[in-house]
Amino acid sequence: MAKIRIKDIAQQAGVSVGTVDRVLHNRGEVAKKTKNKILEIAKANNYQPNLIARALKSKKESVFVSLLPTPTQDDIFWKKPLNGINDAASEHEQFQVAVENFFFEYNNNQDFINQTEAILAINPSGVIFSPIFTKESLKFTQQLAKEGIPYVFMESKLKDSNYLAYVGSDAYQGGRVAANIIDFGLQKNDDILIVNMAKNLENVLHLNKRTQGFLSYFMDKGKNEGLKINLEISSSDSKQIKNRLDSVLKTNKNIKAIFTTGSKAYKLAKYLQKENLNNIILIGFDPIEQNIKYLNNGAINFLIGQHPYQQGFKAFKKLYDHVILNHEITKDEILPFDIINQECINLYQF
């Protein structure tokens, strides 16, 4: 059935197009009998207003804000969701929507706080951010709620908040996926090293959740019964990584696998190659350029992909659909994991 137009409703109701427009968009007084007749015709024909055209007529520009860690050579992962956000913004700029990107130094919670204050000062129409620091992010969500600013999480989410939507993977389940892969490659009594590159793991939401998921797998169903050794490294500095790994691996020769909860598996792979520790399974997250290099030469065995570009792109779309089009949206959009090894990396779509 062809989509009904305002002109068609006017003809069926025997009124002018202007009268139908006033009723459908609540722009003026219309006799109750006429109004009811127009609404009944619209409902019977499943009339949907052209919201995109309405957005084009809007005189006020909506400004969305993103808040992400600064993409650096060490944290190149964050370029992908940023590109997704910016590409989505470019596609919608004709609808009077703009995006401003704010950045904070990874592992620097005070810098995160400073950026949230700057964001609140400009009173944006919506916010996209990754709640890396649990306490600070929760406070930020409370401030956004107070100002009536909708926000969308990506990469991880805070359950104790009234977020508009979440786009990303399940961090806890990601840890279980990694555990399942490692479990296939180990003997029953082999030990496993879990490496978190974070200053305060308990306050770094996504890494903490992955660690919990990893350990839960072995409590539930894992065949491996060896030690699960947690190692926190507060910096990605190569010297510090070497010192910390030396102290663990050279005193525990039974460690046969390493799981790192973030995207810097290449830092560990570089160490393992230099120390000729080629018999240790290494698994981490994200097919960034540095990780792919070590995946291809065999130092990294598996990477878990979580579609960061799509996270950014879809997060922007969630805000757009809610703020501009007033659409109902799916609250949680959980993206699948990709298990990537040397055999399939050339086929992987980034």
CB atoms within 10 A of CB 287: 22
Q: For 55-103, give the DSSP string.
A: HHH--SPEEEEEEEE---STTGGGHHHHHHHHHHHHHHGGGTEEEEEEE
How many angstroms separate the CA atoms of 339 and 267, rounded?
Answer: 20
**pTM of this prediction?**
0.80
Both 183 and 120 in one domain: the answer is: no
- Cβ-based neighbours of 29, under 8 Å, separated by 6 or more: 22
Both 97 and 127 in one domain: the answer is: yes
Both 231 and 198 in one domain: the answer is: yes
- Cβ-based neighbours of 110, under 8 Å, separated by 6 or more: none
CATH code for position 27: 1.10.260.40
How many angstroms separate the CA atoms of 100 and 126, rounded?
Answer: 11
Both 10 and 101 in one domain: the answer is: no
Domain count, the chain: 3
- Cβ-based neighbours of 308, under 8 Å, separated by 6 or more: 77, 78, 80, 81, 84, 155, 286
Both 203 and 312 in one domain: the answer is: no
CB 314 within 8 A of CB 85: no
CATH code for position 181: 3.40.50.2300
Please list the pLDDT of the chain residue by residue as tens digits (350 residues): 456 777 888 889 998 877 887 777 666 677 888 888 888 888 888 776 655 455 445 446 789 999 999 998 877 899 999 999 999 999 887 778 889 999 999 889 999 999 999 999 999 999 999 999 999 999 999 999 999 999 999 999 998 899 999 999 999 999 999 999 999 999 999 999 999 988 777 778 899 999 999 999 999 999 999 999 999 998 888 899 999 999 999 899 999 999 999 999 999 999 999 999 999 999 999 999 999 999 999 999 999 999 999 999 999 999 999 998 889 999 999 999 999 999 988 876 55
- Cβ-based neighbours of 62, under 8 Å, separated by 6 or more: 96, 97, 98, 125, 126, 323, 324
CB 212 within 8 A of CB 178: no
Tokens of 211: 């660690």
Both 84 and 180 in one domain: the answer is: no
How many angstroms separate the CA atoms of 170 and 210, rounded?
Answer: 9
Angle, helices 6-13 vs 32-44, to 10°: value is: 130
Both 38 and 157 in one domain: the answer is: no
Q: Name the CA radius of gyration of the chain, rounded.
A: 26
* Cα→Cα distances 47→8, 23, 325, Å: 10, 13, 15
Order the strands of the 228-232 sheet from edge to edge: 228-232, 191-196, 255-260, 281-285, 302-305, 338-340
Q: 159 in a domain, yes or no?
A: yes
Which domain range does residue 38 map to?
6-49
Both 180 and 288 in one domain: the answer is: yes
